[in-house]
Structure 1
Amino acid sequence: MIRFGIVGCGHIAKKHVAAIDAVEDAQLVAICDTNEERLKEFAREGVTAYTDLADMLKSDVDVVAICTPSGLHAKLTLQVAEAKKHVIVEKPMALTLEDADAMIEACAKNGVKMAVVHPNRFRPAVVELRRQLDSGAFGKIGHANATVRWNRNQAYYDQASWRGTKAMDGGVLMNQAIHNMDLLLWMMGEVDEVSSYAATRIRDIEAEDTSVSVIRFKNGALGVLEAAVTIYPKNLEESLSIFGERGTAIIGGPTANWIKHWSFADLNEEEAEQVKQRVEQDPFGIPGHQCIIQDMCDAIREDRAPIVDGEAGRQALSLVIACQEAAESGKPVKMDDLKKRG
């Protein structure tokens, strides 16, 4: 059994618990939070509770899942890596590239693996989309579009003091849209340049609640990224669209779990409908967090990098930071300039 510990017993930790319980060769043995009341919610037989991460790291845990506010991810990852424990860190892996690089370096130095939680890659519709891209069915890609039109009302931000702050939350791109941005990068490849606008239009928060960006990829394709948490009265749409010379695909819905359009020159209508129906039968598939946990167990046994490793997490973070810096400066940002920082 691969023994797991969780630090940070907030909302997202519940998904990690369910995922660990669902993986046959994973076992939850420890939880950690400075809030003893939260610990009680997760307490059960066979799981030791800690209020100090240093104490938990002295135990026999193999992997630690970091589920704290985003601004604490880097500090805790370094602590876990130095204790020779593998790391699963929630998104975003960090709020700065300097922290991300330090995390990657610490894990490499200590011979431990790091996975970043970008679970949307495992959605059935997303898997089908990636399969079409890999097959060359789109031909030359013209452009892509990623949209997150969600609602996070003021009560959501008022519920926890860290939400909506630049130091701990990071804004709509960092905290909500980064999953969709990860998918955009996974499908389209490296980014050359970004131009962006951002604003705090409706929510009473420090960070932005609305962002619109234009992207040029290194392969010449263009992209448009729209993200907002101001949609009334509830989540409206998360979508990913790719347009090529021989194919058009749109994945959407309140979350990007359904195929909305699927048209390819080498695929007749009946075949396209079969793909849609296959996804609609089980649009959510195996929960993404469960896939991340299973992959970490497999990566440890096979001595390989996790599917969504630190470098993948850094790419998504880089795009977020590029959009934020372009919006702040009013000038395009070259991704190669960000790479030089590391």
Structure 2
Amino acid sequence: MAPLRFGIVGCGGIAGLHARTFRDGLERDGTAQLIAGAETDPERREAFGTKWSLPMHDSLESLLARDDIDAVAITSPSGLHAAHAIQVVKSGRHALSEKPLDTSAERAAAAVAAAKEAGVVLGGIFQQRFNAGVQKVRRAVQAGAFGELVYVHCETPWYRAQSYYDSGAWRGTWDLDGGVLSNQGVHMVDRLLWLAGDWDEVLHSVCSLGKFRNIEAETLGVATVRLKNGAIATITGTTLAYDGLAQRVLICGTNGSAAFHGEELVTFKTREPFEEMKEATENASRTTDTDNKAADPLALSSNQHEANYRDFIAVVREGKESLIKPEEGVRVVALLNAIYAAAGAGPYTG
């Protein structure tokens, strides 16, 4: 079978990880090929094209005019994800969006609807779902091994200097980025909801906007949320914790509990015996101490991104059910919007 041919739009920092995912994995076995890129900024466009030996375009429209593109990876600023996805799916191509699906739940939902109408696949990047420990906890929760969930928690105590926000005019803005919860903490929010269940209401929220950094959105956020199953969730994050600590997730139930330190499952206890931890596959590895995402936004392994891509490609090629449904991407953004609305922060009204 011929490789699925991808374009990529938005060629800033994270796009390099996507390109590496193709070159180090997907292209080696003929699963997929990165054909061309699109970037509006001339310097980034030239640098990306030179580094990865790709023909480059100055707009998504120009990229979509090609006849050798089957799908497009969307790595533009967060607030453009839905608009770019809609353009892609309306052209008849499949779309794979980096996290989050957008900064606005309304726009994210419109992208999902457009993909359904066009009859193509819209996928999302939540690569941490492919971690072996995360998958074990999900199996245990779904099997009832944790009993009734009572308390869940996620936190992102990271560090970003002002220079990080100054590196792009979109960073820290409400429309294109959001703050620590929407950007750095979004994987933790997704992990919490994927493991513990959907959210019901935001009970309380506090967001400190531009605290110690010159940005619109929050550098510190704390929220208390009730889930539909009755459990209480706490969600916290900051980009002011010098020089960055590991993210954590806690899942606590009446018959079992689990704790993650970064992506490593450090505690797993159930009242009744549950399956032993399966060895991580080559596409589902743990984060190591050298992957210092807490201080370096590009300190990422491509292993789980590769697993995420392979899942997406299997949906396109085989019609299999994805581990990441686009509606779940909308759910995450809707919760983030509701947290901001409860804090009286930003333009969101829930």
Shorter-normalised TM-score: what interval?
A: 0.7 to 0.9
SS at match of 1:209: strand
SS at match of 1:65: strand
1:2 matched to 2:4: yes
Structure 2 residue aligned with 1:48: 55
Structure 2 residue aligned with 1:95: 103
1:259 matched to 2:268: no
Structure 1 CA distance for aligned equivalents of residues 175 and 191 of structure 2: 25
Aligned-pair CA distance for 1:14:
1.0
The two structures, once aligned, show a CA RMSD in angstroms of 2.4
Structure 2 residue aligned with 1:245: 254
SS at match of 2:112: helix
Structure 2 CA distance for aligned equivalents of residues 278 and 178 of structure 1: 23
Structure 1 residue aligned with 2:326: 310
Distance 1:278 1:294, change over 3 A: closer
Counterpart code for 2:57: Y
Aligned-pair CA distance for 1:278:
6.7
Question: Which runs of structure 2 are paired with 1:152-167 in the superposition (5 Å)?
Answer: 152-167=160-175
SS at match of 2:277: helix
* Structure 1: 5+ residue stretches without partners: none
Aligned-pair CA distance for 1:95:
1.6
Structure 1 CA distance for aligned equivalents of residues 219 and 189 of structure 2: 16
Deviations 1:217-238 (A, max 9, x none): 1111111111111101x22020
The structure 1 residue matched to 2:228, chosen from 209, 218, 230, is: 218
Structure 2 CA distance for aligned equivalents of residues 305 and 258 of structure 1: 26
Structure 1 residue aligned with 2:190: 182
Structure 2 CA distance for aligned equivalents of residues 266 and 177 of structure 1: 32
Aligned-pair CA distance for 1:282:
4.8
Deviations 1:111-149 (A, max 9, x none): 111111111111222122212212322111111111111
Structure 2 residue aligned with 1:301: 317
Structure 1 residue aligned with 2:294: none
Aligned-pair CA distance for 1:35:
2.4
Structure 2 CA distance for aligned equivalents of residues 166 and 327 of structure 1: 14
Structure 1 residue aligned with 2:291: none
Normalised by the size of structure 2, how large is the TM-score? Answer: 0.86
Aligned-pair CA distance for 1:290:
0.8
Preserved CA contact (<8 Å) 1:115 1:292:
no
Preserved CA contact (<8 Å) 1:212 1:225:
yes
Structure 2 CA distance for aligned equivalents of residues 166 and 177 of structure 1: 15
Counterpart code for 1:156: Y
Deviations 1:245-279 (A, max 9, x none): 11121001xxx2112222222239xx8xx639979
Structure 1 CA distance for aligned equivalents of residues 86 and 280 of structure 2: 42
Aligned-pair CA distance for 1:306:
3.4
Structure 2 residue aligned with 1:28: 34
Counterpart code for 2:8: I
Aligned-pair CA distance for 1:202:
2.1
Normalised by the size of structure 1, how large is the TM-score? Answer: 0.88
Deviations 1:83-108 (A, max 9, x none): 11100111111121221121111111
Structure 1 CA distance for aligned equivalents of residues 137 and 154 of structure 2: 14
Counterpart code for 1:308: I
Structure 2 CA distance for aligned equivalents of residues 119 and 296 of structure 1: 11
* Structure 2: 5+ residue stretches without partners: 288-300
The structure 2 residue matched to 1:82, chosen from 83, 86, 90, is: 90
Counterpart code for 1:225: I
Aligned-pair CA distance for 1:52:
2.3
1:235 matched to 2:222: no
Preserved CA contact (<8 Å) 1:93 1:317:
yes
Question: Which runs of structure 2 are paired with 1:98-113 in the superposition (5 Å)?
Answer: 98-113=106-121
- Length, aligned pairs only: 323
